[in-house]
Structure 1
């Protein structure tokens, strides 16, 4: 039977054999009539490809499955899958060659109708663009692709804490979270790298920790030099857990954006601040202290210096040599002139 149901799926499935070519896949719909239409369309295309030499056509679903195989190591895989599930509702049954400007506009409109921001919509469009690019340049499934234009995103300021705000927050947090926050401010590590930090990732004698490639967002190992404060924080955790550095009541910590965190922010009078902003705070403090951007890039494990340039405006020291007096008057001359005018007055 070429159209059938499986126990593990609510959708109708297709199984076709045309002149030696075999196709078996889900139709993506539980509607029998719609599934039959897709079946007939695919059968006709297979016949054309086999008998008339027409180039094979591929569905959006086939492209998604191959793209997932090709990007299996992506750090953002879970987010990608969630976005693809949303896109599936709007692109199911669509041939890859039919994903054009009109289809993309429909996707944008649907997402806007849910109240999504331009940034959220762009994350979905970026996946569509990535799939289409692979289909053209790597798989040979398409001869060309539509231009996927991203929506404008407002430039948002980087949220970071002042030293006073940081101390207020630390004073309001329970001890285990305060240690994790201060450690984050000392190292700039991402949330998952702090909660998942293991004892075998540390060398307290050399004062260094390391993040393995499979734990890093850029999939590159990161060496993390530890300050005296960071080492002191780690030493306070000795004996609390056998594998994880940070724990609470004998259990490793998996969630930090919890009730205690939210309440502490409120008591400290800090608004619009996420845990990830601790990393922004660490980077901002470094730049304000004069750390060169290429050094900050290496310390933070960023893939490119472009990702670090967003902090560049926080320090103008590298420009100081170019902003001497524009009038040609040395500072001493200006000062003497002011003194002279004061005496005359």
Structure 2
């Protein structure tokens, strides 16, 4: 029985059964000619799927829904779905389609932004669909990131930034420099998950959905203790003593106070070397690897799932950095882990 259309409150709807599939849905249009074209196309899609199978006709939108229902990260998917639309076939997602999406959504964006906001989410949806047998596995080409423009702070610049900040902001800067946390992860940190005695913090609300334990140097412990910590609730708070509002795109919560300290310290406020709160994450990664040469620890404590994201920091640190960090009190690794000898640390659980 073919689909029939009917009108309700000025909008045309489709109803009926085609090849055993029952349909009752809105066309979202009020023009009858357009509604008729949509009716014909919808019938054709159903018949095509019946004859060719789901593998040949699955859409990117369907795969994205499965990905999200499975707990996948949906932060950047909305504009991608809007670009491809509800009918774009999963099998048609290739490097050309990804490039077209990048040009449409982020025509002037840096390569790292394209990788993070386009290539990575599309690849994640596609690879899960491949695991479900809907498409063949494939790799998508990532943009090459110019590591020379990967801004990080020297120990001297970090000292100037901390000295220029108020006590509350200085403690936040120190925590980010000492842990590599993202701003959103920091402002979500609860007092019960901060362990000053061992120099650890449990990041339960991680960006990628995978909680982790991070460590921080003794200098950070001293600054946090001097700053004063609440007995319960959020560790880091606004100037009015209120918990920060959680946002999908972290960083903005401390932006004003951070920018004031940055400008006072004479650090770059624009251009490719602009210093932002996220620069502190780059700095931690550069410092940590320069001093420890521990790539596994870099990935684990930094919360990176893929080595190519963390691998950049292996290449950019100068030879003098490790000693300069020790001289300024930024010591990473077991030797500075609350004074506990290597191999004798006891990790605390999330609970």
Q: 1:258 to 1:211 in 2, by over 3 A?
A: closer
Inter-partner Cα distance in structure 1 for 2:211 and 2:228? 25
- Taking structure 1 as reference, are residues 68 and 31 closer, same or farther at Cα in structure 2, changes over 3 Å only? farther
Aligned length: 302
Q: Note if 1:250 corresponds to 2:241.
A: yes
1:41 is matched with which residue?
41
- RMSD between superposed Cα atoms in Å: 3.7
**How many Å apart are 1:29 and its aligned residue?**
6.1
Q: d(CA) in 2 for partners of 1:19 and 1:30?
A: 27
Q: Is the Cα–Cα contact under 8 Å of residues 83 and 124 in structure 1 kept in the other structure?
A: yes
Match of 2:256 among 232, 256, 259: 259
Residue pair 2:199, 2:215 contacting (<8 A) in 1 also? yes
Task: Give the Cα–Cα distance (whole angstroms) in 1 for the partners of residues 31 and 118 of structure 2.
Answer: 26
Aligned to 1:55: 53
Give 5+ residue unaligned stretches, structure 2.
Answer: 246-251, 269-273, 321-351
Structure 1 residue 103 displacement after superposition: 5.6
Contact preservation (8 Å) 1:187, 1:230: no
Distance 1:5 1:156 in 2: 60
After superposition, the C-alpha distances for 1:275-317 in whole angstroms (9 at most, x for unaligned) are 1111211222223334432333333333354443322222569
Q: Using a 3 Å threshold, how does the CA distance of structure 1 residues 256 and 156 change in structure 2: closer, same or farther?
A: farther
TM-score (norm 2): 0.69
Bigger radius of gyration among the two: 1
Q: Which has the higher contact order (CA 8 A, sep 6+)?
A: 2
Secondary structure of 1:308's counterpart equals helix
Once residues 152 and 37 of structure 1 are traced to their aligned partners in structure 2, the CA distance between those partners, rounded to angstroms, is: 43
Given that 2:79 and 2:105 are in contact with CA atoms closer than 8 Å, whether structure 1 keeps it comes out as no
Distance 2:26 2:188 in 1: 38
> Corresponding residue for 2:303?
301
TM-score normalized with structure 1 length? 0.70
**Matching residue of 1:225:** 215
Partner of 1:194: 186
Which residue does 2:248 correspond to in 1? Answer: none
Confirm whether residue 138 of structure 1 aligns to residue 136 of structure 2: no
Separation in 2, partners of 1:118, 1:25: 40
* In structure 1, C-alpha distance between the alignment counterparts of 2:286 and 2:97, rounded to whole Å: 41
